[in-house]
């Protein structure tokens, strides 16, 4: 069974585990954009994980003179905001919130979209029609508007924001997974699985899903980037978690001083742009690594 399934796997995922790792490593080293994006992303994740060590204390505490420019005071290398809060501390702790919401929302969207897309693509018939109509219904509602409505109904906290973004993002994944399952359900290794008496859940989880993971993984990296942008937009509109500092809320707080202290918006904005860029580079690199038609491996 695994030999048949391996014929339909992405080139980078074929062969023994050691050979796969060697092939992926060799292809990764030939992709500088992927490596640059991965390094940037790992640095951002490292800063987020060590924020408490780098900047102990509450990042929302007023610890210095308001509106200090970067380099004006050695104690606050990136300056302070209009309330005297350390900008560097806010960036580090804000990275944690933005990444946590981004990855959580992407995970929620991937789980919902994969489940619906798998059932729709494998079962077909009335189940496929019903789930496709449900997907189209969600796609007719503007994503950001749906997120705002869900957050407004619930409490504006990080878990609610992640849930709202994830619930609004699953249709794209569902359509992708459905297309993958429809193309694989008639493959020879699936027919062999049915002849062995395997049930639908086992075929979906153990046979088709592993062979459809490559585009799902790539889509997941882009969903994280979109979720970070959406969370930043909510926080900019004062609909974020009031108890947490994020890059979006820092941009919103710095907006009144945009003419006199533009760095208060530029620094968190640059952090968002750099993180989203790294995720897009990683997504493009994963697509090259896992796509058998790219010629990268």
What is the number of alpha carbons within 13 Å of residue 266 lying toward its C-beta? 11
Q: Which residue has the higher pLDDT, 244 or 11?
A: 244
Residues of the chain with pLDDT > 90, as a percent, come to 23
**Band of the pLDDT at 293, cuts 50, 70, 90?**
low
* pLDDT digit string, tens, across residues 183-230: 887 778 777 877 877 777 888 888 788 878 888 888 888 899 999 999
Tell the burial category of 188 from Cβ atoms under 10 Å away from its Cβ (0-12, 13-18, 19+): exposed
On the question of pLDDT at 65 being above 60, the answer is yes
State how far the Cα of 250 lies from the Cα of 90, in Å rounded to an integer: 8
**Band of the pLDDT at 12, cuts 50, 70, 90?**
very low
Phi then psi dihedrals of residue 285, to 5 deg: -65, -40
Phi then psi dihedrals of residue 73, to 5 deg: -130, 125
Does 131 fall in a domain?
A: yes
On the question of pLDDT at 177 being above 70, the answer is yes
Phi then psi dihedrals of residue 261, to 5 deg: -140, 65
Residue 123, number of CB atoms within 10 A of its CB: 15
Tell me how far CA of residue 124 lies from CA of 72, 185, 200, in angstroms.
65, 10, 12
State how far the Cα of 257 lies from the Cα of 260, in Å rounded to an integer: 5
Does 128 fall in a domain?
A: yes
Does 219 fall in a domain?
A: yes
Residue 11: what pLDDT?
45
Residue 14: what pLDDT?
52
For residue 146, the enclosing domain spans: 61-277
Tell me the DSSP string of 197-253.
T--HHHIIIIIIHHHTHHHHHHHHHHHHHHHHHHHHHHHHTT-S-TTS--HHHHHHH
State how far the Cα of 171 lies from the Cα of 141, in Å rounded to an integer: 11
Phi-psi region of 273 (alpha: psi -120 to 50; beta: other; left: phi over 0): alpha
Does 187 fall in a domain?
A: yes
Does 22 fall in a domain?
A: no
Task: Kindly report the pTM of this predicted structure.
Answer: 0.83
Number of domains making up the chain: 1
**Band of the pLDDT at 3, cuts 50, 70, 90?**
very low
Residue 20: what pLDDT?
59
**Helix, strand, coil percent values for the chain (each to nearest 5):** 75, 0, 25
Residue 105: what pLDDT?
93
DSSP SS3 for 118: helix
**Band of the pLDDT at 26, cuts 50, 70, 90?**
low
Lowest mean pLDDT among 32-41, 64-73, 212-221, 288-297: 288-297
Quick one: which of 220, 41, 286 has its CA closest to 297?
286
Residue 39: what pLDDT?
92
Alpha helices in 140-212 (DSSP H): 143-153, 158-184, 188-195, 200-202, 209-211
Q: Which residue has the higher pLDDT, 294 or 138?
A: 138
Does 295 fall in a domain?
A: no
Q: CATH number for the domain including 66?
A: 1.10.3720.10
Degrees, nearest 5: CA angle 86-90-93: 135
Does 241 fall in a domain?
A: yes
Does 238 fall in a domain?
A: yes
* pLDDT digit string, tens, across residues 119-136: 888 887 888 889 989 988
**What are the residues whose beta carbons fall under 8 Å from the beta carbon of 33, sequence distance 6 or more?**
281, 284, 285
């Amino acid at each position: 069974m695994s030999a048949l399934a391996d014929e339909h796997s992405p080139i980078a995922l074929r062969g023994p585990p050691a050979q796969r790792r060697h092939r992926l490593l060799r292809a990764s080293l030939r992709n500088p954009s992927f490596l640059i994006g991965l390094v940037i992303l790992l640095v951002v994740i490292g800063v987020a994980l060590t924020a408490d060590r780098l900047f102990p204390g509450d990042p929302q505490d007023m610890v210095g003179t308001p509106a200090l420019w970067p380099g004006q005071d050695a104690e606050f290398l990136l300056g302070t905001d209009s309330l005297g809060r350390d900008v560097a501390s806010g960036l580090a702790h804000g990275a944690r919130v933005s990444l946590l919401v981004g990855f959580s929302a992407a995970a929620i969207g991937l789980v919902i979209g994969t489940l619906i897309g798998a059932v729709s693509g494998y079962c077909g018939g009335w189940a496929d029609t019903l789930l496709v109509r449900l997907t189209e219904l969600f796609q007719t509602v503007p994503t950001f508007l749906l997120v705002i409505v869900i957050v407004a109904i619930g409490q504006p906290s990080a878990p609610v924001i992640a849930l709202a973004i994830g619930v609004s993002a699953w249709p794209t994944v569902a359509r992708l997974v459905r297309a993958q399952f429809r193309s694989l359900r008639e493959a020879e290794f699936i027919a062999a699985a049915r002849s062995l008496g395997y049930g639908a859940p086992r075929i979906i989880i153990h046979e088709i899903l592993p062979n459809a993971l490559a585009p799902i993984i790539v889509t997941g990296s882009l969903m994280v980037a979109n979720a970070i942008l959406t969370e930043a937009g909510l926080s900019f509109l004062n609909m974020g978690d009031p108890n947490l500092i994020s890059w979006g809320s820092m941009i919103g707080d710095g907006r009144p001083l945009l003419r006199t202290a533009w760095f208060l918006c530029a620094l968190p904005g640059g952090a968002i742009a750099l993180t989203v860029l790294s995720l897009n580079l990683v997504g493009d690199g994963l697509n090259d690594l896992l796509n058998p038609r790219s010629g990268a491996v």
